[in-house]
Amino acid sequence: MKREFPTQKEIIRQERRKWSRSSLDDVLLCREERFLSGGFLFKKFVLSFDGKKERSCRGEETALRILFFSDTHIRNDFSRSFFPCLKWQGSTLIFENLEESIALAKPDILLFGGDLAGESCIYPESAALFSRLAVPEKFAIHGNWDKKGNTALSYAARRKMLEEAGVRLLVNEGVFLRKDLFLYGFDDTRMGYPLLSLPDEAANGEIIRIFAAHSPDTVTGRLQKENISLNEKDLFLCGHTHGGQIRMPLFGALRTSTYSGKKLEMAWYEHKENHAKMFVSSGIGTTFIHTRIFSPPEIVLLEIKSRQG
């Protein structure tokens, strides 16, 4: 007997075809800068959502600086990059590198994309390190490692630890960063249940909406059931893939641990129909094999240009 409804895997494989790799101009990018900061590849993107694609962003626009990073996977052992100049060891050095990058970037908002720690026993220490990061506002979402069923810590305990460190955890909820800029955080698609619940004010097509989802599968999978109306002012920020963690020249990721596969492995993408944007970060940490080959750890600074303050 034929199934009446497609599985989530089938939905994701159908929907991922609607996203295509974007050039810098396609995502309304004014400029991109790449340099090393601490142990990370630091990427800075200056984005304008007013339809202009000129490379110099001038005029009365104001900018909000959002530092996005994901997948720290802090653990007791160490990880190192294939490149000798990009390596780190333990939680302390990771956050020292973040402190260096924050001092350089001076962001207004810190956004963490999930998968904080690889082991429950060091989650309290890992969460507490956010308190050392000098950023006015801090937000985070759940990753699949943050919600594993065999954890010794409850979700409420983890939320409390983050709140004590000054971090607001967004689980299927959002907040206005400005009157024209809305941030929404989804629950993890593997270990949770991502839902969309937007206030009426955020349904306005003139509002810039940033959706944080740990995995791109959230965007191409369950999110499609919400029948959300997207437009060119919508931006999704994802992680989870690690950029493949092990990449081969001219081929890219060998494996991404997603149903989206290599189609959405890392970098910028744009929806072919509604022109929403998606950035998939390669993240910071590692899992299983504790090394990165041709996929250096990265953090991203998004400078959002806006006509309204």
- The Cα–Cα gap between 243 and 227 comes to 28
Backbone angles phi, psi at 233, to 5 degrees: -95, 10
pLDDT at 173: 94
Give the number of other Cβ atoms within 10 Å of residue 271's Cβ. 21
Q: Which of 198, 205, 204 is nearest to 223 (CA)?
A: 198
CA angle 247, 251, 254 (to 5 degrees): 45
Q: Are the beta carbons of 206 and 232 closer than 8 angstroms?
A: no
* C-alpha R_g of the chain: 18
Is this structure's pTM higher than 0.85? yes
Cβ partners under 8 Å of residue 4, min gap 6:
none
pLDDT at 163: 95
Q: Which two tokens stand for residue 218?
A: 């959230």
Q: Which of 284, 286, 287, 285 is nearest to 298 (CA)?
A: 284
User: For residue range 154-185, what is the model confidence (pLDDT) as tens digits?
Assistant: 888 889 999 999 999 999 999 999 988 999 99
* Number of residues assigned to the chain: 309
Q: Are the beta carbons of 250 and 234 closer than 8 angstroms?
A: no
101: part of which helix (H) or strand (E)? helix 90-105
Q: Which amino acid is present at 23? A: S
Q: Which two tokens stand for residue 2?
A: 């034929």
Q: Which two tokens stand for residue 235?
A: 């931006």
Q: Are the beta carbons of 48 and 303 closer than 8 angstroms?
A: no
Q: Which of 260, 253, 255 is nearest to 236 (CA)?
A: 260
Q: Which two tokens stand for residue 221?
A: 């999978």
Domains and CATH numbers, the chain: 18-48+59-306 (3.60.21)
Beta strands in 29-108 (DSSP E): 29-37, 40-48, 62-69, 79-81, 87-88
In the predicted model, residues of the chain with pLDDT beneath 50 are 30, 53-59, 88, 309
